[in-house]
Amino acid sequence: MNRGSIDSVPSGPDSGRFPADQGFDNLPPSSTKPRFLDRPVVRRASTALERRLLQWFLSACGNPEIQVVLWDGRALACSRELPVGNILIHDPVTLRRLLADTEIAFGDAFTDGTLEIQGPLVEVLMEICRALRNAPMGGLFGRILNVARRWRSHSVAASRKNIHHHYDIGNAFYEMWLDERMQYTCAYFAEPGMTLEAAQLGKLDHVCRKLQLKPGETVVEAGCGWGGLALHMAERYGVSVRAFNLSHEQVAYARKRADAVGLSRRVEFVEDDYRNVSGKYDAFVSVGMLEHVGLENYPELGRVIDRSLTPSGRGLIHSIGRNAPQPFDPWTDARIFPGAYAPSLREMLTVLEPFRFSVLDVENLRLHYARTLEHWLERFERSTDKVAHMFDESFVRMWRLYLAASIATFKIGGLQLFQVVFTRESNNHVPWTRSHLYRDEVLS
């Protein structure tokens, strides 16, 4: 055990500090300029104070099995002979920022390239997340953040701005790495090895079966993305759909597709907030919108569902969740999903309980989301040249971190994916068992 001792990094590709077969560069950091960056290498050596502060900092972070390497090649070794990977800090300013404002600075430094990760990216992030979870200060910070975050605004205007930030950066970008149906939510892999296309189609059918859709029925969808589910329900299950979405780009895209497949008479895309849903429907469905609703609006979402469902109506809410209440980390909140929140299952139920909805079925698809994200990251990595051309290298690194960190978080259980099926209390026309969801799967 040599935790905390300060070594210089062994040089050469065979230093063996992390498995070399991961397909990542394994060059000694002291001899390389940061990738993607065209700025001068810092010449001054790190000070004893800087290294001591970093050591204290790593201990407060739960001592992840990661080797941190400073700009002068000096490294803080961890207790394992083979750390999961290296973090390279390329200049003193980045180190100072990291110490002062860790959660924002880590992601920002990765984005601008002043911090690099050597080794298998997802595994390194998993190791950091695991260590943080057991860190002495983690719990308290989490609780303080949680209280603070609840007061973020989710007014109709603020929601519109939040949604615009993430979803209106260009359909062409998402087309590069999503499946052909543009499903930007967790897929359902009946078999772990199936393709993303098949698994996203599987998700659509899984949702439709859970909703027990029958031809001629009406469905309202809250948060419809690029319209894939709405079109699928209309085409394969013979229902009429009104689908709501705040993203202008997504709605325009969805309408075009509805026209192209001749479904615009049965699928209406409405560029509006879920709070403005009107009318009565046989089914309510929302896939991947609850994350943007904000806890304080859950009662209102419940009211919308309650006034929208017929007496025999069914509903399904599909959302990223948590095992216990916890906010998104500040970087994701600031840079990726402003105002997003992944509720615990208990928090999700505050949507339904005030209206005595009967929960029929809850399924947790956590590992399916990790698998979905692995497909996305793989496709994304194949398109980085095009993405860099469309935006820039920083954007590529930001999205790389976001996708890889999401995989890591689902894999260590920091995030869950809940599908909650419900109906009205008095509705006895519910399937006797759930075997109808598995007919194809079992026979195939």
**Residue 276 beta carbon to its own copies: minimum distance, rounded to whole angstroms:** 27
Rule CB under 8 A: which residues touch its own copies?
Answer: 188-192, 323-325, 344-346, 349-350, 352-354, 356-364, 366-367, 411-414, 416, 418, 424-428, 430, 432-435, 437-439, 441-443
Best CA proximity match to 59, nearest among 140, 132, 141: 132
Residue (273 or 374) nearer to its own copies, CB? 374
**Best CA proximity match to 75, nearest among 17, 119, 153, 136:** 17
Compute the least distance from the CB of residue 282 to its own copies, in Å: 18
* CA atoms within 13 Å, Cβ hemisphere of 38: 1
Which residue type occupies 94?
T
Q: Smallest distance from the beta carbon of 206 to its own copies, in angstroms?
A: 9
Identify which of residues 4 and 138 has a Cβ nearer to its own copies in the complex: 138
CA gap 352, 345 in Å, rounded: 11
Please say whether the beta carbons of 419 and 362 come within 8 A.
yes
Residues facing 7 on adjacent strands: 75
- Residue number with CB closer to its own copies (279 or 311): 311
DSSP state of 29: G
Nearest distance in Å: CB 193, its own copies? 10
Residue closer to its own copies by CB (options 137, 324) is 324
Could you tell me which residues come within 8 angstroms of residue 274 by beta carbon, excluding any fewer than 6 positions away? 222, 223, 244, 286, 289, 293, 301, 304
Instruction: Report the nearest approach of its own copies to the CB of residue 378 (Å).
Output: 19
What is d(CA 298, CA 318) in angstroms, rounded to the nearest whole number? 14
Nearer to its own copies, 34 or 302 (CB): 302
Instruction: Compute the distance between CA of residue 354 and CA of residue 376 in angstroms, rounded to an integer.
Output: 37
What is the phi/psi pair of residue 252, to 5°?
Answer: -60, -45
175 vs 353, which CB is nearer to its own copies? 353
Per-residue tokens: 256: 């075009």
Q: How far is the CB of 203 from its own copies (least distance, A)?
A: 12
Contact (Cβ atoms closer than 8 angstroms) between residue 230 and residue 269:
yes
Q: Check if the beta carbon of residue 229 is closer than 8 Å to that of residue 287.
A: yes
Question: Least Å distance between CB 303 and its own copies?
Answer: 15
* Smallest distance, its own copies to C-beta of residue 287, A: 18
Task: Round to whole Å and give the CA distance between 296 and 303.
Answer: 13
* Nearer Cβ to its own copies (270/362): 362
352 vs 398, which CB is nearer to its own copies? 352
